[in-house]
Amino acid sequence: MNGSTPPQLPLRSPKVMLIGAGMTGILMTIKLREAGITDITILEKKESLGGTWRENTYPGLACDVPSHMYTYSFEPNPEWSHLCAYGSEIREYFERVGRKYGVTEKILFNEAVTRSIYGKGQWTVTSSKGNTYVADFIINCTGILHHPAKPDIKGIETFGGDMFHTAEWNHTVDLTGKRVGVIGTGSTAAQVIPEVAKAAGKLSVFQRTPQWIFPWANKTVSEKSKKKLRDNPNRVRRLRGLYVWMMANLLTKATAGHQPQRAILSAVCQLNLKLSIKDKSLRKKLTPDYAVGCKRLIVNKTFYKAVQRNNVDLVTEGIAEITPKGIKTRDGKEHELDALVLSTGFHNFNFMRPMDMRGKGGLKIDDAWSKKVQAYRSMFLPNFPNSFLMLGPNSPIGNYSVIAMSEVQCAYILKIIGHWQQGEFDEIDVKPSAFKSFNEYLKAGMSKTVWVGGCQSWYLDDDGDPALWPYTWQQWEKEMKEPKMADFITEKFPPKTEKTTKKNEVSAAA
């Protein structure tokens, strides 16, 4: 033995296709590059980056987790103007990060993926511009809540005034002095309603189900505080650590069924309702009949004030139909409206669709998910090898920071790609048995969660199974730390011959 180590083969360099340039697409690009992976194509369907923070522009739009927690861990921002920053500021943050890390200049804007087809270790991706790309991996960074759900209410198409969904806010419509209706009282509505109430002559809020509200005033950060944070980066880190600790140990533990945390949340929300709403009959209308946290907890300090304004009417009678003049409720009353805002949420099970994605054997994503939208560890689907989904089914969304979740997923994906770079495989697919047992594990966690607390929400699917992570944040971090390679089927293909290379090599037509 001469003691010399065998020569190291150079790492393979994958072609990676990123679909979407929102928060997860920007993150993934930065982290892939840090790992030395540079052959990255980023397709973005719209004209700018930012995802949900580009799409949503409704008045009152803000983050509802503390901003120092809603930042990339590697890019703290001492400049946040409020405890929970407003939408435009968050969008600017992502634009700044995109520029700083040279992501923006690499994005192919106004180019949507229309189809992606898998074949032997590679994906062939077609775009709305008719271009074709080949990639060893595709990473769907397409977000969750981006397909507005418009209510299927009788007569909706007959409404004679202005009508739009909160995610498609029509800024050409001036609501000043108008008779405005808002359907919905979820997290978005709680932010929209106080703003619309200030402008409207009369605002009718159509509430189907009351919500629990955790009181959290969106305080302005003083220049003095910002300077302290700017001068001492450790302060920002400590602040972030504090919020992470609070959210992980109070909110996610409460939803996962930990009793002391649930009791605290319940007490605070009940007290908030009692102290905020003096009128007993209004309080009754606003009192939910399900456990706190069953629906997404609203974090807000302005909604209760808004519904007590003289120009605001909280309508709890069910909607019978929408008429050319307004909304008719089941008691026969017609609420005349000049404008109607649909704050009715999103189709949260769409993920990367309507993209035509076809895995092994031509399996279509719509067929794979026809009965149930599930994944293995939120990121993988059997028969869709070499493809990952950021913030997929059962990501622990809730009231936690989606950025923190994405960073965990990103690290996991890089580890998988790292094995490919070492030449261990050309194709990686999750075993159906691992997919099944992971989803059984999720179901098993469900019974203890607060989501079975007697409500209906987007947190549950049609079978009553969780759309979110039913355990704690700590459990998520633990489970997602290392890929269990035994849960995957991997394959190596013989090197391509000249002929097959030519056949498969489809370069960008751009």
Instruction: List, edge to edge, every strand of the sheet that includes 339-342.
Output: 162-165, 339-342, 179-183, 202-206, 312-315
Q: Angle 37-41-47 (CA atoms, 0-180°, nearest 5)?
A: 135
CB 292 within 8 A of CB 450: yes
Does the protein bind ligand NAP through residue 153 (CB under 6 A)?
yes
Among 29, 41, 142, 187, binds ligand NAP (CB under 6 A): 187
| Number of residues in the chain | 510
Q: Is the peptide bond before 354 cis (omega within 30 degrees of 0)?
A: yes
Give the shortest CB-225-to-ligand NAP separation in angstroms. 22
| Pick 30 or 183: Cβ nearer ligand NAP | 183
Give the shortest CB-457-to-ligand NAP separation in angstroms. 7
* Residues forming a β-bridge with 137: 16
| Pick 77 or 127: Cβ nearer ligand NAP | 77
| Pick 208 or 443: Cβ nearer ligand NAP | 208
Interatomic CA distance for residues 138 and 157, integer angstroms: 39
| Pick 104 or 191: Cβ nearer ligand NAP | 191
Among 104, 122, 218, 344, binds ligand NAP (CB under 6 A): 344
User: What ranges in 141-258 are assigned the alpha helix state H?
Assistant: 187-199, 223-231, 233-246, 252-255
Does the protein bind ligand NAP through residue 458 (CB under 6 A)?
yes
Stretch that binds ligand NAP, among 57-65, 171-179, 439-447, 472-480 (CB under 6 A): 57-65
The contact mask relative to ligand NAP for 29-48 (x = CB under 6 A, - = no) is --------------------
| Pick 187 or 383: Cβ nearer ligand NAP | 187
CB 140 within 8 A of CB 387: yes
Among 319, 368, 430, 442, binds ligand NAP (CB under 6 A): 319
Does the protein bind ligand NAP through residue 67 (CB under 6 A)?
no
Among 50, 66, 98, 186, binds ligand NAP (CB under 6 A): 186
Does the protein bind ligand NAP through residue 60 (CB under 6 A)?
no
Cα of first residue to Cα of last residue in the chain, in angstroms, is 54
| Pick 103 or 182: Cβ nearer ligand NAP | 182
**In sequence order, which residues have a C-beta less than 8 Å from that of residue 500 and are 6 or more positions away?**
none
Among residues 369, 35, 293, 59, the alpha carbon closest in space to that of 196 is found at 59
Give the shortest CB-145-to-ligand NAP separation in angstroms. 5
DSSP 457-479: -TTB-TTS-BSS--S-HHHHHHH
| Pick 121 or 293: Cβ nearer ligand NAP | 293
Using CA atoms in the order 144, 148, 153, 154, what is the torsion angle rounded to 10 degrees?
-130
Does the protein bind ligand NAP through residue 296 (CB under 6 A)?
yes
CB 356 within 8 A of CB 368: no
Does the protein bind ligand NAP through residue 165 (CB under 6 A)?
no
Does the protein bind ligand NAP through residue 189 (CB under 6 A)?
yes
Does the protein bind ligand NAP through residue 188 (CB under 6 A)?
yes
Among 184, 194, 359, 385, binds ligand NAP (CB under 6 A): 184
Does the protein bind ligand NAP through residue 320 (CB under 6 A)?
no
Interatomic CA distance for residues 116 and 19, integer angstroms: 11
Instruction: List, edge to edge, every strand of the sheet that includes 356-358.
Output: 132-135, 122-127, 113-119, 356-358
Interatomic CA distance for residues 86 and 155, integer angstroms: 35
Stretch that binds ligand NAP, among 223-231, 262-270, 344-352, 366-374 (CB under 6 A): 344-352
Among residues 32, 78, 431, the alpha carbon closest in space to that of 229 is found at 78
Give the shortest CB-137-to-ligand NAP separation in angstroms. 28
Among 209, 249, 266, 316, binds ligand NAP (CB under 6 A): 209
Among 28, 107, 145, 341, binds ligand NAP (CB under 6 A): 145
Among 21, 31, 40, 64, binds ligand NAP (CB under 6 A): 64
Among 14, 345, 393, 445, binds ligand NAP (CB under 6 A): 345
Among 198, 208, 431, 496, binds ligand NAP (CB under 6 A): 208
Name the strand (E) or helix (H) holding 267: helix 259-276
Q: Angle 298-224-68 (CA atoms, 0-180°, nearest 5)?
A: 35
Interface positions with ligand NAP (CB under 6 A): 62-64, 145, 151, 153, 183-189, 206, 208-209, 296, 319, 343-346, 456, 458
